[in-house]
Amino acid sequence: MSYYQHHVFFCVNQRDNGERCCNDCGAQAMRDYAKAKIKALKLNGREKIRINNAGCLDRCAEGPVIVVYPEAVWYTYVDEEDIDEIIESHLQNGHIVERLRI
Report yes or no on 1 lying in a domain. no
Start-to-end C-alpha separation, the chain: 26
Report yes or no on 77 lying in a domain. yes
Report yes or no on 71 lying in a domain. yes
* Residues facing residue 52 across a β-bridge: 9
Report yes or no on 79 lying in a domain. yes
**Cβ atoms of residues 32 and 21 within 8 Å:** no
What's the CATH code of the domain at 76?
3.40.30.10
| pLDDT score at 32 | 98
**Cβ atoms of residues 65 and 76 within 8 Å:** yes
Structure pTM? 0.94
CA–CA dist 52, 11 (Å, integer) = 9
Look up the domain containing 36 and give its range: 6-100
Question: Could you tell me the pLDDT band of residue 1, with boundaries at 50, 70 and 90?
Answer: low
When divided into structural domains, the chain yields a total of: 1
> Which pLDDT tens digit goes with each residue over 2-44?
899 999 999 999 888 878 889 889 999 999 999 999 999 999 9
Average pLDDT over the chain, rounded to an integer: 94
CA–CA dist 6, 18 (Å, integer) = 33
Report yes or no on 83 lying in a domain. yes
